Structure 1
Amino acid sequence: MAYVYLLDTTLRDGTQGEGVSLTVADKLKIAQKLDDLGVAYIEGGFPGANPKDQDFFRTANDRLHLKHAKLTAFGSTRRPSTKAEDDAGLQTLLGANTPAVAIVGKAWDFHVTEALRIDLGQNLDMIRDTVRYLKRHGREVIFDAEHFFDGFKHNRAYALATLQAAEEAGVDWVALCDTNGGSLPDEIREIVATVVSEVRVQVGIHTHNDGELAVANTLAAVQAGARMVHGTINGIGERCGNANLASIIPNLELKLGYSCLPSRQHLRQLTSTARFVGEVANLVSHSYQPFVGHSAFAHKGGIHVSAIARNSETYEHIQPELVGNERRVLISELSGLSNVQSQAEAFGISVVGRSDDLRTLLEKIKELEYLGYQFEGAEASQELLFRRTLGEFQQPFEVFSVRVDTDVQSEADVTSQAIVKLGVGGEIVHTVCEGNGPVNALDAVLRKALAAHRPEIAHMHLTDYKVRVLDEKDATAAKVRVLIESTDGQRVWRTIGVSENVVEASWEALVDSMNYYLAIVVPQRELVSST
């Protein structure tokens, strides 16, 4: 079985998409998730472009322990009037200390003469010098031939000459870029086949989705001999996006007979990876996305439901479990019941003889999803919902009342104060705290109220807070979904809150985060310690 190497550029090309902004912490989380999935290369950013990417590589070298992927820094060929060893961009690239680097260079003569305003021979020298210099410093080098397909159609000989210049300098890969995203699959297939026959170096493919053909073009390139695929999770990227790895991976593995992940078990992580990246990037999840979307294996009524009950192949092109997704029957009384049962058992809850309770739980889940809750990225809130509904939850504290006020004196003088009345440890506790915002004040007052009876609360803290507007058309009256991530340094969990009031949604997610820690994480850890 032929192997295709995956280069994920979510953290570099993906961040050029409109509305995509990742912190260094976000990038570290996604990089770890991509490594868990099993991609071969993670392109982490352009260290010469901004301090954030420099900080990412510096931090990644200390904190990431990659098992499958090579961290890859991105840069460009040396400047026309500078030697490679004197080029500041290349020095910064080497300073990222990654085992692999990706270098972009011009492959279209039109861009050489019009954008760079140099002669064609100078561009070839730039490619050759840059690759040779990076190879001397022990890096694996990927040459991204920018606008290659447009260049090939305009001047075939020169486009090939750019690849040959890189090859002469010892490059490891040449990646053919459909930078403007306007090529068609037949064109891609024919040109890639020509390149594979003309060069000795390994060939990759990098496509954009401006014609909604990025996935099709990538698959055509692989069938023509490309053995490296560039793309992003969920297809995010500049303009219309990059090739979507969430669709490319299962098509390669399940349809075309190529291997691109370490095992089929890794393929089962695809859906959770796609949804995780979407949540961290704070992007709206596309329910109808193939393979990994919430609706990808959803069936609604009529002959479809009765047919899949007998044989799922009647209306499903693959088994959803292969990519970590699940089948959903939308209108049946029993729709999803087996999934609810399986999840309850995974939480350690006995469901023997409790079919009525499971149906009640299922209906509650449906109702909450309708209201805007989404539990794929909030596993802690999901477990709390199961335990509360099935009578398997012992409340560590009770909230009687909460109030938060914000006083705005000026732009530089804004204070928030929270007051809470709790029942904890058999006592009623009244507490007040200030914070630098309503959520911070609520977090502080809840911790202070719990501290005397549950001092272990000091070991947990919030690590992320995201707000998503669910009904944009309602403007400031829109319902919002708040996702909070918490940790105690050993375990990470996420909780959710939904409301038209962002403070109320935040409070719900915050209370869930502390309930989960005190009622589930702490007892589990104590049980492990005692055994």
Structure 2
Amino acid sequence: MTNRSFEIVDVTLRDGSHSMRHAFTKEQVRETARGLDKAGVNYFEVSHGDGLGGSSMQYGLSKVNELELIETAAAECGQAKVSVLLIPGIGTKYDLNDAVKAGAKMVRIATHVTEADVAKQHITLARELGLKTIGFLMMAHMASIEKLVEQAKLFESYGAEVVYVTDSAGALLPHEVTERITALKNELSIEIGFHGHNNLSMAMANTLAAVQAGATYIDGSLRALGAGSGNTQTEVMVAVLEKMEYNTGVDLYKILDVANDVVAKYMPRPQEVTGSSLMMGYSGVYSSFLLHTEKAAKRFNIDERDILVELGKMKAVGGQEDLIYEVAANITKKKFAVAPKP
């Protein structure tokens, strides 16, 4: 096999939280973590879908406190390590300290692609706590390559050890991923990662483009469980990379077992490209908006695709979930407006 090392970071227990409506149980986390560890995955993420501190009315309340889930997952780790996500403004330094006490060994500090400057103190703290520290540039399709490089350099200057191109909306195409990863490889001295969503059915193709351009951290989710149409499917990624003679270090049979025997049994629905999630990729809308949009469409009796198109025009980003209902209300007003009498 090609002498190359990849870190496949599995996000089933974090990004999958969106699809699960943040209702993971300890037993589900325990069995998934045990399977990932046995399969040889070095890092897997456990948090509320919107990261540490995300359990709220705004983002959705967790069924089980995330610190308990982190502890549960960490207890199953022989060689694997638990990662967490922190979005400044949602998670705090206190949440990060608590996560470390619960067993977290890595953190991904996530900001909008143009707002890396808000993460300096969080990255500094993460390094002080001895965590593997990663910068996560979300909604990467919304910035020029020049801006992406500028923001990635900020993450690097703060102490991030890896910087991710994060396709939060599943809006990028393979050549766009290649351009972005290549630019970061040329301009940064740290490792580069890629996180994809499948809203345009491009997640696997985009991940391969990232790998071929030099990314060494790549994200996946078992059975593609994640926001929108889900993520690059971990077990598929392992199989494809193995066929391409890359060395992932992950046991294909064992990763298939945890995907099919554990995750498939608790998934609320199959992860597939639907009309609504497809529109998210097409319009460039944050993948975690899907369930909120479906709820708003039912409440106002309108087409959820219309909501997503408007959100795309507004360039809405994570943290603006309240806009979904505002947009839905405005569409309803226009739909049922009575024309003035002549």
TM-score under structure 2 length normalisation: 0.70
Alignment partner of 1:73 is 2:58: no
In structure 1, the partner of 2:282 is: none
Query: Is contact 1:76-1:89 (8 Å) kept?
Result: no
Distance 1:13 1:170 in 2: 25
Distance 1:191 1:60 in 2: 33
In structure 2, the partner of 1:373 is: none
Instruction: Choose from 60, 65, 82 the match for 1:52.
Output: 65
More strand by share: 1
Moved over 4 A (4+): 282-286
In structure 2, the partner of 1:43 is: 45
Distance 2:180 2:205 in 1: 15
Whichever of the two has the greater Rg, that structure is: 1
Q: Secondary structure at the match of 1:100?
A: strand
In structure 2, the partner of 1:158 is: 147
In structure 1, the partner of 2:113 is: 107
TM-score under structure 1 length normalisation: 0.46
Q: Secondary structure at the match of 1:101?
A: strand
Q: Secondary structure at the match of 1:209?
A: coil
For structure 1, the residue ranges without an aligned partner over 5 or more in a row are 109-122, 287-531
Instruction: Choose from 226, 232, 248 the match for 2:237.
Output: 248
**Cα distance, 1:282–1:212 mapped onto 2, change above 3 Å:** closer
Alignment partner of 1:270 is 2:255: yes
For structure 2, the residue ranges without an aligned partner over 5 or more in a row are 56-63, 272-342
Distance 2:162 2:129 in 1: 17
Query: Is contact 2:7-2:248 (8 Å) kept?
Result: yes
Instruction: Choose from 145, 158, 162 the match for 1:169.
Output: 158
In structure 2, the partner of 1:7 is: 9
In structure 1, the partner of 2:194 is: 205
Query: Is contact 1:11-1:27 (8 Å) kept?
Result: yes
Q: Identity across aligned pairs (percent)? A: 24
Q: Aligned-pair RMSD on alpha carbons?
A: 2.4
State the Cα deviation string for residues 97-151 of structure 1 (Å, max 9, x = none).
311111111213xxxxxxxxxxxxxx44322222112101111111111112322
Alignment partner of 1:136 is 2:128: yes
State the Cα deviation string for residues 349-381 of structure 1 (Å, max 9, x = none).
xxxxxxxxxxxxxxxxxxxxxxxxxxxxxxxxx
Q: Secondary structure at the match of 1:268?
A: helix
Write the letter of the residue equivalent to 1:68. Q
State the Cα deviation string for residues 134-170 of structure 1 (Å, max 9, x = none).
101111111111112322x3xx333222211111122
Write the letter of the residue equivalent to 1:134. A
Higher-RCO chain (CA-CA 8 Å, sequence separation at least 6): 2
Displacement after TM superposition at 1:283 (Å): 4.8
Query: Is contact 1:147-1:179 (8 Å) kept?
Result: yes
In structure 1, the partner of 2:213 is: 224
Query: Is contact 1:14-1:236 (8 Å) kept?
Result: yes
In structure 2, the partner of 1:291 is: none
Distance 1:185 1:175 in 2: 16
Q: Secondary structure at the match of 2:218?
A: strand
Instruction: Choose from 139, 150, 153 the match for 1:147.
Output: 139
In structure 1, the partner of 2:104 is: 98
Query: Is contact 1:74-1:93 (8 Å) kept?
Result: no
Distance 1:177 1:235 in 2: 16
Distance 1:126 1:78 in 2: 9
Distance 1:130 1:282 in 2: 33
Q: Secondary structure at the match of 2:72?
A: helix
Distance 2:265 2:28 in 1: 6
